[in-house]
């Protein structure tokens, strides 16, 4: 019998090693081995995930400190609550009113007993937001992406997608069981080549999947160019606007509005787990396509409907979006200020979206840096392999409308100090 190698608890041991090692292990061995890895992180106070938050989502939150066991206040720069709706008084009041009127849930799927007046009203308002004929609700953003492509794609069809597309879209392609091809991120010429090649032999429909705002780098798809390319090649463009809805465009209607393309994208998918700070997702498209998906999207047919209070909170969020336009404007101002501040420190950041990535130098201990951010009361998310390639690890900064300039200055000060410490440590090692 082969001996199971002992866990090597060094600083360089990461999930890549676990994945490679686990290929030869059965599930019990894999879980035991991974448990040792997690224990090593906890012992070195490097367990940066699943921190316990004890307050409402806002610009400042209370977090249970794993070292002391005490609760402390931290500035939140790791939340997709971009407009601060999670703790908005009007949103909370509307959610509470929905509980009183509709109860906590419906106990069934939308095609049976899970379709209330709230659900239909939200669909109509989302369709209007995206300039579409109709919209449909899903139990999660993940379910929306999976259900969209698996419901549309059929034998003879092919899917082409950006290499940075979300895992949910790729899982939907797997469920659909159709040939698929990815192109390098935002490489329009590579997309053109794939469309020209596949158009020659494809006997069905061609679908192209891109995102409006990409979650890891915070960059935008060249949407107008891609749409024109799809139209000229007879391909249907599917836009994942999860991070764009509520953040992009003068009114926060999304990435299509940002490019002046509202109503021009054939299919737009979105989620409620970012700007609206709850859960759920949607697809907005033509009425015939939406009606078709209601019966052929398995993640829609076989999932319980969103609870009415959740639906009410999204409706309330849309009210805030319409009536408090200064929130979107403030978000854009905060993004511009944060991006300018980071560029002055030498970072390359875009500044068009509220996601600002901080690439980690190859010689920086990302877990040690994450611990230092925590110690300084700054809550940021460290993105390690396998969420990104091993040479592209980074911290992801999420900017909210509720942040103050003082908050952003404090973040910048922490970044400058942590990067300086890393540079000193590297010089000493050399």
Question: Is 211 among the catalytic positions?
Answer: yes
Radius of gyration for the chain, computed over Cα atoms and rounded to the nearest angstrom: 23
Question: Is 258 among the catalytic positions?
Answer: no
Single out the catalytic residue among 80, 139, 180, 382.
80
Single out the catalytic residue among 243, 253, 374, 403.
243
Single out the catalytic residue among 157, 162, 217, 240.
240
Question: Is 4 among the catalytic positions?
Answer: no
Question: Is 166 among the catalytic positions?
Answer: yes
Single out the catalytic residue among 88, 166, 258, 374.
166
Encode burial over 283-302: b for 16+ CB neighbours within 10 A, e otherwise. bbbeeebbeebbeebebbbe
Read out DSSP for 314-329? HHHHHHHHHH-HHHHH
268: left (phi > 0), else alpha (psi -120 to 50), else beta? beta
Contact between 129 and 254 under an 8 Å Cβ cutoff? The reply is yes
Strand 281-285 versus strand 267-271 pairing type: antiparallel
Question: CA triplet 353, 358, 364: central angle to 5 degrees?
Answer: 170
Tokens 């190859």 correspond to 362
- Residue 137 CB burial class (10 angstroms; 0-12, 13-18, ≥19): buried
Is 364 in a helix, a strand, or coil?
Answer: coil
Q: In sequence order, what are the beta bridge partners of 267?
A: 238
Question: Is 274 among the catalytic positions?
Answer: yes
3-state percent helix, strand, coil for the chain, nearest multiple of 5? 45, 15, 40
Single out the catalytic residue among 215, 305, 313, 382.
215
Please provide the size of the chain in residues. Answer: 430
Single out the catalytic residue among 253, 274, 374, 403.
274
Tokens of 218: 């915070």
User: What beta strand segments (E) does 157-310 contain?
Assistant: 158-162, 180-183, 206-211, 235-240, 267-271, 281-285
* Catalytic positions, written as ranges: 80, 166, 211, 215, 240, 243, 274
């Amino acid at each position: 019998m082969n001996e199971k190698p002992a866990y090597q608890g060094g600083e360089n041991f990461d999930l890549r090693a676990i994945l490679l090692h686990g290929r030869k292990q059965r599930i019990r061995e894999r879980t035991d081995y991974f448990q040792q890895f997690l224990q090593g992180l906890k012992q070195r106070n490097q367990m940066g995930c699943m921190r316990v938050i004890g307050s409402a989502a806002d610009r400042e939150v209370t977090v249970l400190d794993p070292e002391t066991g005490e609760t402390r206040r931290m500035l939140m720069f790791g939340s997709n609550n971009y407009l601060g709706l999670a703790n908005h008084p009007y949103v909370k009041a509307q959610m509470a009113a929905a509980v009183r009127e509709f109860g906590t849930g419906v106990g069934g799927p939308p095609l049976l007993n899970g379709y209330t007046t709230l659900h239909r009203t939200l669909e109509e308002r989302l369709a209007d937001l995206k300039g579409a004929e109709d919209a449909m609700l899903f139990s999660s953003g993940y379910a929306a992406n999976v259900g969209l492509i698996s419901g549309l794609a059929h034998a003879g069809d092919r899917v082409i997608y950006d290499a940075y597309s979300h895992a949910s879209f790729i899982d939907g392609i797997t469920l659909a069981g159709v040939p698929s091809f990815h192109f390098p991120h935002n490489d329009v010429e590579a997309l053109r080549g794939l469309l020209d090649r596949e158009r020659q032999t494809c006997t069905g429909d061609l679908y192209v999947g891109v995102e409006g705002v990409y979650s890891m780098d915070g960059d935008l798809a060249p949407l107008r160019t891609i749409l024109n390319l799809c139209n000229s090649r007879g391909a249907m463009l599917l836009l994942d606007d999860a991070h764009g809805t509520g953040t992009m465009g003068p009114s926060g209607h999304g990435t299509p509005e940002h490019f002046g393309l509202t109503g021009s994208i054939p299919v737009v998918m979105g989620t409620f787990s970012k700007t609206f700070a709850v859960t759920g997702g949607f697809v907005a498209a033509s009425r015939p396509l939406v009606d078709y998906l209601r019966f052929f999207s398995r993640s829609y047919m076989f999932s319980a409907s969103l609870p009415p209070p959740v639906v009410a909170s999204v409706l309330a969020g849309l009210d805030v979006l319409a009536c408090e336009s200064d929130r979107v404007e403030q978000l854009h101002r905060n993004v511009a200020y944060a991006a300018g501040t980071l560029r002055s420190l030498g970072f390359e950041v875009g500044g068009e979206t509220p996601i600002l990535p901080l690439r980690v130098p190859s010689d920086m201990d990302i877990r040690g840096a994450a611990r230092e951010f925590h110690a300084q009361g700054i809550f940021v998310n460290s993105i390690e392999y396998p969420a990104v390639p091993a040479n592209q690890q980074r911290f992801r900064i999420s900017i909210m409308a509720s942040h103050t300039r003082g908050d952003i200055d404090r973040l910048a000060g922490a970044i400058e100090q942590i990067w300086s410490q890393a540079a000193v440590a590297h010089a000493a090692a050399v």
